Amino acid sequence: MSDAAISQRRVRVASEGHTLSTGAPLRYLVGAVAIFLAALMLAPVVLSFFASIKTGADASASPPSYLPKALSLENYQKILDYQAGLWTYVSNSLTVAGMAILLVIALAVPAGYGLARFNFRFKEPLFLVLLLPLMIPYQALLTPLYLDFAKVGLANSQFGLAIIHAMLQIPFSVYLMRNGFEAIPKELEEAAVIDGCNSWQTFFRVSLRLVFPGIVTIALFAFITSWNELLAALILMNKETEFTVPIMLVGVRTGHFGAVDWGALQAGIIVAIIPCVAIYVFLQKYYVSGLLSGAVK
């Protein structure tokens, strides 16, 4: 092969990287297939949204239609007034998620810092202890936790549920914070000390600011886990007024006297999806980078 041919290939490889295609037609085909698959993945959510803005009768009609015949907020009105009221459930979910986020940050940030910046005996075994929630499925722990919580008044409490949701996020969050602090050059902290910061000030003014993106990431993951979690909420929460959004949805699905109100269910599903998708769309950078560094690096 001539040098010219090789360098031509090099240029092509460099510009296309890991692509499937060689020529322009294939390039377009790959793009078209990808867009088609993306549309297919998006379809269930779009159809659910359309169903949610149908009239109640239209949403339960059989055979069903893909598009609403007329626009109506009837389904949203129904979900707003569902039993204790949508806002009760949303605010319960937000409260639990908020407490879980605070717990995760308060526990994982210092733990990550301790692991990254200090050497002490049994450091790695203790790190493994913090990874235990990965090894012991929380589904198995719910029975003893429920009994313990009942004794100390944490059953049926939002704080109790937040504890379990925080526990689920501890391994990932500690891991991420440890990597985050380790990535900060020691020299930066030493410079701060020379400039007259004590260890506390160094931590708050220098290190903490540099790992801020990591803190956003663990907060996002804690929110999404907590907002979506069903089993622990189902077991722990027995009072209607303490239910979170996922339990409310299961209730809507069960319906009254066996008849499911499909339109109201779709409105509820859309309400449950919106915060997660909003976070994903607007803070994608934090979300995906966190996922990758948590699982791959």
What's CA 167's distance to the chain center, in Å?
14
The C-alpha atoms of residue 189 and residue 197 are separated, in whole angstroms, by: 9
Question: Which of these ranges, 73-81, 82-90, 161-169, 184-192, lies near other proteins under the rule CB under 8 A?
Answer: 161-169
Sign of CA dihedral 182, 185, 187, 190: negative
Closest approach, Cβ 18 to other proteins, in A, equals 5
Among 4, 140, 151, 185, binds other proteins (CB under 8 A): 140
* Residues in 252-291 at the binding interface with other proteins, rule: CB under 8 A: 253, 262, 265-266, 269, 272-273, 276-277, 279-280, 284, 287-288, 291
In degrees rounded to 5, what are phi and psi of residue 67?
Answer: -105, 150
Interface with other proteins in residues 33-72 (CB under 8 A): 33-35, 37-39, 41-42, 44-45, 47-48, 51, 59-64, 66
Chain positions 72 to 91 lying near other proteins, rule: CB under 8 A, are none
Q: Which of 110, 153, 213, 255 binds other proteins (CB under 8 A)?
A: 110
188 binds other proteins (CB under 8 A): no
191 touches other proteins (CB under 8 A):
no
One of 6, 71, 188, 193 touching other proteins (CB under 8 A)? 6
| Amino acid letter for position 175 | Y
Tokens coding 75: 């389904």
Among positions 123, 186, 209, 285, the unique one binding other proteins when judged by CB under 8 A = 123
What is the spatial distance between Cα 36 and Cα 32, in angstroms, rounded to a whole number?
6
The answer to the question of residue 147 lying near other proteins (CB under 8 A) is yes
DSSP string, 36-97: HHHHHHHHHHHHHHHHHTS-HHHHT-SS--SS-SS---HHHHHHHTSTT-HHHHHHHHHHHH
Q: Nearest distance from residue 289's CB to other proteins, in Å?
A: 10
